[in-house]
Chain A
Amino acid sequence: MNNWINLSALWRIVGIGLLAGAGLPAIFAVGVRALGSGSDAATDDVAGEQVIGATRTGIAIAGLCFAVVLAASGYGIYLIVRAG
């Protein structure tokens, strides 16, 4: 921490920013992947890999992922309302 840059705030912005700004889209991506789409995957040219498909586990994982993303967004809004 010095006179010009608040380094501790800077690192927290970078750190939490990475978790929220890059981590949440990644979790969302896991959800999208878990939902997959077994049915029309064959029509896609990059569908070489195995996808989970919309199995019950897949849907559960996806639901969990989307819930985490939604909860984090809600917490973000809560922070705006409280602090500003």
Chain B
Amino acid sequence: MGNDFVLVLVVVTALAFDFTNGFNDAGNAMATSIATRALPPRVAVSVAGVLNLIGAFLSLSVAATIASGLVQTNLVTLTVVFAGLTGGILWNLTTWFLGIPSSSSHALIGGVIGSTLAAAGAHGVKWHGLVQKVIIPAVLSPIIALGIAAIGTYLVYRVTRGVNRQARTRGFRIGQIGSASMVSLAHGTNDAQKTMGIITLALISNHTLASGAKAPFWVVLSCALAIALGTCAGGWRVIRTLGKGLIEIDAPQGMAAESSSAAVILLSSHFGYSLSTTHVATGSILGSGVGKAGAEVRWSVAGRMATAWVLTLPAAGTVGALAYFATHGIGGSAGVLVMFVLVGAGSAAFYWRSRKNAVSAKNVNDAWGGAIVPVAPKTKTKTPVSV
């Protein structure tokens, strides 16, 4: 039963990925609410965490669909799944460290495709499915979200012209909390299920589950908890870029942006496109800057993000492929164990390095000076709040 040992490592790695998914994406729902001070930072990520948890339980119909449409599942082994997850985790940590909101879904898909390519060659990947289900929606969704948010923002400012500014802010802060909560809920439903699908795929490839089986309850529960905990952890670096880096955001813009995000995400998943929450949220926030007269949009920051988005699939894929070669090269359970320890060490290194110039709940809203980490006065004596 050597495989069961590997299976446990794969499941733990998948849950670790789910955790990075949570803190990478906490900003998608809550960055605007934090930036406009509709909610205090800690409260915001806690609310998002709880809603992600609920969202993960709301709908359980997706099993291994994310992988089955993109790779030949009969070629997928535990090692392939493991190497793919490795690619996803390392790319998520890299973009988080740089404060770039990038798609966790793409990181996962890229990693799995890379490791499948390494294991089985080009015929293991369903290229048509990749373009149709991943790449085209990824290009279109931020543009659609941007347009809807821009129109929404324009309408909102048009309608409330002349309304007392304080009253308007108060009203829209409440609306913003509502719409951000919808995004959190949708995120839990979409993204937690992707990891559930991956773990189910691993269980199927290990013949623990029959082919076509649904995710067992412990998988659902552990994935829901992992993504919720990850969201609660904050991911302040990404939140800061989304909330402060792209535009100076006001409550009405925040509400328009989150409404657009929620609508696009829910509609797309309704029509069977599982697209990136991150791309949609970023597009919406940009749109809320475009739609407000006189607002400054920092297109250079947006451009940097777009570059990271283009790189996500190939970069995570490359890591996934390398991880497969390394794991396969060492061979057997030992290979997986060695890589598992290496990824753990790598993650710890990222975390340790981030503490040196931490972004936390305390400085997440500091004025944007062109850098992810605010130029801090020397506060070495204060222990930074955990990221």
Task: Give the size of the chain A interface in residues (CB under 8 angstroms).
Answer: 49
> Is A68 positioned at the interface, with any CB of B under 8 Å from its CB?
no
Docked Cα-Cα span, A12 to B264, in Å, equals 10
Asked if A80 and B252 make an inter-chain contact with CB atoms under 8 angstroms apart, the answer reads no
Asked if A4 and B159 make an inter-chain contact with CB atoms under 8 angstroms apart, the answer reads no
Asked if A4 and B136 make an inter-chain contact with CB atoms under 8 angstroms apart, the answer reads yes
> Is A41 positioned at the interface, with any CB of B under 8 Å from its CB?
yes
Contact of B263 among A16, A29, A49 (CB under 8 A): A16
Asked if A25 and B162 make an inter-chain contact with CB atoms under 8 angstroms apart, the answer reads no
Residue-wise interface mask of B (305-349) relative to A, using a CB-CB cutoff of 8 A (1 in contact, 0 not): 000000000000000000000000000000000000000000000
Contacts of B164 in A (CB 8 A): 36-37, 40-41, 43-44, 47, 51
Asked if B165 and A46 make an inter-chain contact with CB atoms under 8 angstroms apart, the answer reads yes
Asked if B167 and A37 make an inter-chain contact with CB atoms under 8 angstroms apart, the answer reads yes
Task: Return B320 CB to nearest CB of chain A, in Å.
Answer: 25
Residue-wise interface mask of B (110-144) relative to A, using a CB-CB cutoff of 8 A (1 in contact, 0 not): 00000000000000000010011000100010001
> Is A67 positioned at the interface, with any CB of B under 8 Å from its CB?
no
Contact of B171 among A35, A47, A80 (CB under 8 A): A35
Asked if A46 and B260 make an inter-chain contact with CB atoms under 8 angstroms apart, the answer reads no
Contact of A17 among B144, B156, B159, B255 (CB under 8 A): B144
Contact of B162 among A43, A49, A76, A79 (CB under 8 A): A49
Beyond A76-B182, A79-B270, is A26–B152 a contact (Cβ under 8 Å)? yes
Contacts of A18 in B (CB 8 A): 148, 151
> Is A5 positioned at the interface, with any CB of B under 8 Å from its CB?
yes
Known: A21-B264, A30-B159. 7 other contacts (CB 8 A): A17-B148, A21-B152, A28-B171, A44-B164, A76-B182, A80-B266, A84-B193
Provide 16 A-B residue pairs closer than 8 Å at the C-beta atoms, listed in order of the A residue.
A13-B144, A18-B148, A21-B262, A21-B264, A22-B155, A22-B259, A25-B175, A28-B156, A29-B156, A29-B159, A47-B164, A76-B262, A80-B185, A80-B189, A83-B61, A84-B59
B residues near A (Cβ < 8 Å) are: 55, 58-62, 128, 131-132, 136, 140, 144-145, 147-149, 151-153, 155-156, 159-168, 171-172, 175, 178-179, 182, 185-186, 189, 193, 252, 255-256, 259-264, 266-273
